[in-house]
Amino acid sequence: MYLLASLIYYPYVQEHTVSYAVFRLLGSTGILLTVYAISRRRTLLIHRSPRASNAAWATGW
């Protein structure tokens, strides 16, 4: 959804205006949050112990 909105809004943004600065700031923030979320999820997948996953399976989680 984020990428689609960026592609639609990009042609209407004029350089050297406030809206261009806001567009770049929101774009950078979105990319950083996406990278953070992906790395955080990968960390959770790597550090999960087999014993914890078996216990979760046994309790229905």
Rounded to an integer, what distance in angstroms lies between the CA atom of residue 32 and that of residue 41?
14
Pair of tokens at residue 58: 């046994």
Residue 53's pLDDT is 54
pLDDT at 8 over 80: yes
pLDDT at 4 over 80: yes
Closest CA to 8 of 21, 28, 23: 23
Q: Which amino acid is at 34?
A: T
Residue 60's pLDDT is 54
pLDDT in tens, 9-61: 888 888 888 888 888 898 899 889 888 888 877 766 565 555 555 555 555 55
**Residues of the chain by 3-state class (helix, strand, coil), percent to 5:** 80, 0, 20
Cα-to-chain-centroid distance, residue 61? 25
